[in-house]
């Protein structure tokens, strides 16, 4: 797993752990030991994947964002096992494209493994 994917995964775990309280962006970057630039990129990627939402908030006299998980998840472990979560081809993957979920081996394997173990989906 690349550092980028690793940070995204760690960020997602942190955000999920905070539940409905969410977490300020700056606090999350500190927990991740990431720079604000690196943290902002992670945040934007997770937002583009429709996993988080950011709400503007005034904190200590400065505008920032509080980050919340967008979708309630059954279990973080099952989410993190979905191959699309940290796939380098996410932005190029389309149903009728050259890279497609219809022909994706990792996704097919994951789907079949969940069919065999339905309690993990």
Residues at the contact surface with ligand SF4, assessed by CB under 6 A: 83-84, 87, 89-90, 93, 99, 101, 104, 106-107
- Which residue's CB is nearer to ligand SF4, number 30 or number 92? 92
Distance in Å, CB of 13 to ligand SF4, minimum: 20
Whole-angstrom distance, CA of residue 81 vs CA of residue 100: 18
The nearest distance, CB 121 to ligand SF4, in angstroms, is 15
Min CB(27)–ligand SF4 separation in Å: 30
Question: Nearer to ligand SF4 by C-beta: 49 or 54?
Answer: 49
CB closer to ligand SF4 out of 58 and 95: 95
- In the bound state with ligand SF4, the residue whose beta carbon lies nearer, of 76 and 107, is 107
DSSP assignments along the chain, one per residue: --HHHHHHHHHHHHHHHHGGG-EEHHHHHHHHT--HHHHHHHHHHHHHTTSEEEEEEEETTEEEEEEEESS--S-HHHHHH-GGGG-TTGGGB-TTSSB-TTT-HHHHHHHHHHHHSGGG-
């Amino acid at each position: 797993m690349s550092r980028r994917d690793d940070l995204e995964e760690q960020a997602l775990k942190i955000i999920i752990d905070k539940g409905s309280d969410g977490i300020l962006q700056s606090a999350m970057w500190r927990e991740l030991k990431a720079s604000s630039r690196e943290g902002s990129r992670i945040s934007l990627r997770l937002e583009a994947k429709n996993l988080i939402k950011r709400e503007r908030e005034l904190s200590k006299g400065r505008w920032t964002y509080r980050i919340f998980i967008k979708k309630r998840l059954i279990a973080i472990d099952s989410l993190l096992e979905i191959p699309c979560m940290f796939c380098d081809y996410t932005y190029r993957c389309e149903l009728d494209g050259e890279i497609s979920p219809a022909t994706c081996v990792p996704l097919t394997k994951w789907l079949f493994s969940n069919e065999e173990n339905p309690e993990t989906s």
